[in-house]
Structures are given as structure tokens and as C-alpha cells.
Amino acid sequence: MKKVNFKKVLMTLMVAFTFLFVGVSTSNAQSMIGQDIYSPAQGTFVNNDQAGVTLLATIEGLGNSLALLQPGTPIYTSTRRQALYYRGIYQDLLSSNNVAASIGTGLGYLTNSAVGSNGPISRNVLLTLRQDAITLLSN
């Protein structure tokens, strides 16, 4: 019988399980982000009327900023995306949804190809826009 080195076997098993658990937790985190980004936001928000007023004022300010920026520049694209997202939230509020739900569904309006948001939008950008909206509309 051949003598087995238990340290090597144990180390091999530990490495295999480490990769298995790291891979599983990484894929779970990525799928949670995908499911969570369009879901209702967590927190305490202003009422629908106040949210509408705040969003319209912000959209107007962003529109004024866009008039001063050169189309195609990164700052123009970023400002335009933010205005389109806030417009999506506002339109969702008009459909009698609450603020928390509208923050999530407003992203769907932004990522709709018919809106023309100047190309694909990374998940990090969407998360940043979502967080900005949460901050803007929090109570």
C-alpha cells in the first residue's frame, strides 16, 4: 500500500472548497444586484406631491445645465442620463405609484433603447443614479 500524505490531501480539499465557496458567493452577489436595482427603494421618502415638485425643479435645472454643455461630452451624457432617469421617476409617480417603487421602475425608463440614452449604461452608473434619487427624495 502506498502511504498517503494527509497534509497534501487536506490542503487540496481546502483549496477546492475555498474556490467553490468564493465562486458561489460572488455569483449570488451579482444576481442580487441584478434583481435589486429595479426593486422599490428602501427608506423613508417624501410624499408623491413633494417628490413631483422636487423632481420637476431638478429636471428643469438639469435641462438648463444641458443647454450650456456640448453634446457628446461625458458630462453632457451623465447630466442627460440623470435628467432622463428623474423624468422616468416622475412619469411613474403620475401613474399612481409611490416614491419607493418609482425609484426602481424609473431605471427601466432610462435603460429603454427608445429613449436614446447615448449607449449602454453600466450597472455601477445605474446604482449611482439610483442612490442619488434616493438621497434627493428621502425625507
State the total domains in the chain: 1
Q: Which domain holds residue 121?
A: 37-137
The tens place of each residue's pLDDT in the chain, 139 residues long, gives 556 665 565 455 455 555 655 554 444 444 444 457 889 999 999 999 999 999 999 999 999 999 999 998 999 999 999 999 999 999 999 997 899 999 999 988 887 755 555 577 889 999 999 999 999 999 8
pTM for the model stands at: 0.71
Question: Is residue 26, in this structure, part of any structural domain at all?
Answer: no
In three-state secondary structure terms, 45 is strand
d(CA 127, CA 107): 9
Question: Is residue 78, in this structure, part of any structural domain at all?
Answer: yes
